[in-house]
Structure 1
Amino acid sequence: MDALSYLFDWKTFLLLGAIFVPLEHLFGMHPEQKHLRRGWMLDLIYATFNGAIIKIGSMLLIYAGIVAGRLMIPEFVRAAVGSQPYWIQVIEVLVIADIGFYLIHRAFHTFPALWKFHAVHHSIEELDWLAANRVHPIDQILTKAGSLIPCFALGFSEAALVTYAVIYQWHAILLHSNVTVRIGPLRWLLASPDFHHWHHSDHREAYNKNYAGQLSFLDVLFGTAHMPDGQPTKYGCSDNVPETYGKQLLYPFRQILLRRRRRTSKADILSTGS
């Protein structure tokens, strides 16, 4: 039972379902979408098996960040950061972590090798609360590391970091859910489902937009915000991503290897021609 709980936090999963399924029914962004929509079983498999891989990988990278922080950042700085009032630390962690998230997320969209890992997440064609789980482990590990290593290195308190982790988990589910949340002008400050759905949309004008995780003002600041009136009508990406869990885990590596072979073949042809 302990091993199963480590792999799959079923209590949290059931709680999330009990909250978000009714919300999607009452306030659906796309009310015509079925609860058992395309790909829901695949996303359930991700929710079941991805947890342990991501936890182990993230812990190793974060531990490396803690060690590096102790070596590079003076102890008096770490002590000053950790002694701040709890609520100030939470706000600072949210800002620092989301800047890291924004930069890593943008890198996954910019560099072809990284995109192959992130394309797995963007292969989702219908979004709901369960869709947030479809993330390649390498994608999630690097994203978590980029977000949290600076926070651990700076010496923020455990309470502030745990609070951020809870906010991040629940907010990520909300962003992917099939729920419309109207927050008026605050949409330019805080990320909402409407904001993140445009990031997942297959609309050319929305490509490479809305990278932030919690704070949409980062996209406003860096010129990547896209929040028109209305909702997307099409989701997904142009990559031919496989439709099974195992093949999706292998997909990025196969694509990178294939690209290297093509480069090698092209170089050989050019060399022979000369």
Structure 2
Amino acid sequence: MNWPHLLLLAALPPFVVACGRAGLSDANMLTLGTLLSLAWLMWAERRWPARPDWTPGRSELLRDGAFLGLNAATDALGGLLVAALALHLRALWPATAAPMAGVAPWFAWPLAVALGELGPYALHRWAHADGWGWRVHALHHAPERVNASNNIATHPINVLWNQLSRVLPWLLLGFDAHVIAWAALFIQVQSFAVHANIAGALGPLNRLIGTAELHRWHHSIHPAEALNYGTAIPLWDQLLGTWRSPGSTGPARVGVAGVPGGAAWRVWRALLLAPFCARCNRAQRSTPRRA
């Protein structure tokens, strides 16, 4: 049983309550919750690794730390852009067209989570179909190990499109700010948990929440295995035919064919530039979809 993942999810409600009583803003609650969750999962990975050979080395942690800084700045910029776009659209949007305004939080939160996963699910599935979307998304699949820290190794464009497709519908539909923060925290925590290299299974819970057992298969180098596009929950995979049972073992190999997944700066620079630079893309063999 993957107890670290379950304990983390169980800790979220009391954490949110404690932050509210301490007077923390939603933004600070989200930041603190994300960092504490990442620290907990990285500690658990060291203590109970599913695959010891997937434990990140110093150079990989430095790479992931650089992406943490880059994407934190991207996330902050994206928040400003989404807010500005939402204000512009709401000026054209009748006040009565905000159906979630005033809805009880206990009912609104699961709807926010489900809706918040739909846009990123669709974009994620599109990005795996080769073309420009894959040139953006390939960076996240390049590591040859799957662990909590390299969840952060994601192209800034990928961060922006996820944020836009998730947060803009929340704002336009009138979800309460606290509900948005709680849903965002759950989705963010889940994104780290499903990448965490922690031993143990969650069994029937694979059909209710995203788990490492499901997501490791998504990082397989073989297309037939690389499904399960959802992260926080498998709802849209189940409804749209892309959910696959995790089985008893993980994929034999993860990564991207033709792209070395180590921490060499030249590789990551090329992957960062690939969406904009045809020459860089050719240098990475057009970041091929899979072997």
TM-score of the aligned structures, taking structure 1 as reference length: 0.81
Please show how residues 14-29 of structure 1 align to structure 2 within 5 Å. Answer: 15-16=36-37, 18-29=39-50
Structure 2 residue aligned with 1:54: 75
Please show how residues 1-274 of structure 1 align to structure 2 within 5 Å. Answer: 15-16=36-37, 18-36=39-57, 39-72=60-93, 74-78=94-98, 80-207=99-226, 209-226=227-244, 227-240=246-259, 243-244=264-265, 245-255=268-278
Report the alpha carbon displacement of residue 111 of structure 1 after superposing the two structures with TM.
4.9
Aligned-partner residue type, residue 216 of structure 1:
P
- Secondary structure, aligned partner of 1:253: coil
CA distances 1:110-164 after superposition (whole Å, capped 9, x unpaired):
2511110100001011111101110100111011111221111111010000111
Gapped regions of structure 2 (runs ≥ 5): 1-26, 283-291
- Secondary structure, aligned partner of 1:206: coil
CA distance in 1, matches of 2:60, 2:81: 31
Aligned-partner residue type, residue 85 of structure 2:
A
Structure 2 residue aligned with 1:264: none
Report the alpha carbon displacement of residue 187 of structure 1 after superposing the two structures with TM.
0.7
CA distance in 1, matches of 2:74, 2:182: 22
CA distance in 1, matches of 2:147, 2:84: 33
Distance of aligned partners of 1:239 and 1:88 in 2 relative to their CA distance in 1, 3 Å threshold: farther
Distance of aligned partners of 1:239 and 1:10 in 2 relative to their CA distance in 1, 3 Å threshold: farther
TM-score of the aligned structures, taking structure 2 as reference length: 0.76
Report the alpha carbon displacement of residue 233 of structure 1 after superposing the two structures with TM.
2.5
Aligned-partner residue type, residue 217 of structure 2:
W
Distance of aligned partners of 1:131 and 1:59 in 2 relative to their CA distance in 1, 3 Å threshold: same
Structure showing greater radius of gyration is 1
Which deviates more, 85-94 or 232-241?
A: 232-241
CA distance in 1, matches of 2:32, 2:82: 27
CA RMSD of aligned residues (A): 2.7
Report the alpha carbon displacement of residue 27 of structure 1 after superposing the two structures with TM.
3.0
Aligned-partner residue type, residue 121 of structure 1:
H
> Higher helix fraction: Structure 1 or Structure 2?
1
Report the alpha carbon displacement of residue 252 of structure 1 after superposing the two structures with TM.
2.1
CA distance in 1, matches of 2:279, 2:114: 33
Report the alpha carbon displacement of residue 38 of structure 1 after superposing the two structures with TM.
6.7
Distance of aligned partners of 1:180 and 1:249 in 2 relative to their CA distance in 1, 3 Å threshold: same
CA distance in 1, matches of 2:47, 2:185: 25
CA distance in 1, matches of 2:240, 2:83: 27
Sequence identity of aligned pairs in percent? 24
Distance of aligned partners of 1:158 and 1:57 in 2 relative to their CA distance in 1, 3 Å threshold: same
User: Aligned residues, how many?
Assistant: 249
CA distance in 1, matches of 2:280, 2:208: 40
Gapped regions of structure 1 (runs ≥ 5): 1-5, 260-274
Which deviates more, 58-67 or 152-161?
A: 58-67
